[in-house]
Structure 1
Amino acid sequence: MTNVNVSLDAIRKRAEAALSCTTPEDFTNEAVSILEEDVPALLAEVERLQQRLSLAEDLLSEAHDMLDDVHCYETEIYEAISRYFDGGDSE
């Protein structure tokens, strides 16, 4: 997959421009352009970020296991990682 650099600000501006179109034809043309160009780019970016998040979680899991193996149960980092995997992110 190619790395797509998506500018959310640029997409937001295009969407605002579409909403300010004065004729239905102009709006339709701008909306079709957004659907053809921006939506696929956004989906590609979401997929890329999901892959990076998955890798980060795998690495975090390995770090958690390593801390467990060396009996670091009482450390702040071990507790923070445990909270993350238990679904909580508060102290």
Structure 2
Amino acid sequence: MDRIVKLASMKAVVIFTNSSCCMCHAIKRLFYEQGVSPMIHELDEDTRGREMEWALSRIGCCPAVPAVFIGGRLVGSANTVMTLHLNGSLKKMLKEAGAMWL
């Protein structure tokens, strides 16, 4: 858990994913298309990935990936992020976190 908190606060946007997950790919692409350069942690390529995935599920990420953190705070998984994007709240959050300037 401590590792997740530490990693999540290292950059304005941090996404925990699995490289073979199609929803993870879609969420990463959404951020790139917004002009945001998130820090990506591929849990299936990390030796402690299973442990971190378990910790993400314990803090409320269901499914555990993709798990999006903005400004060091957990935003949620794909459904939450897409809802925020569609209602216009995501851009505001990204601007407040310093991840985008437009």
Q: Identify, as 1 or 2, the structure richer in strand.
A: 2
Q: Identify, as 1 or 2, the structure richer in helix.
A: 1
TM-score (norm 1): 0.23
Q: Larger Cα Rg: Structure 1 or Structure 2?
A: 1
TM-score (norm 2): 0.22
Kindly indicate whether structure 1 or structure 2 has the higher relative contact order, using CA contacts under 8 Å at least 6 residues apart.
2
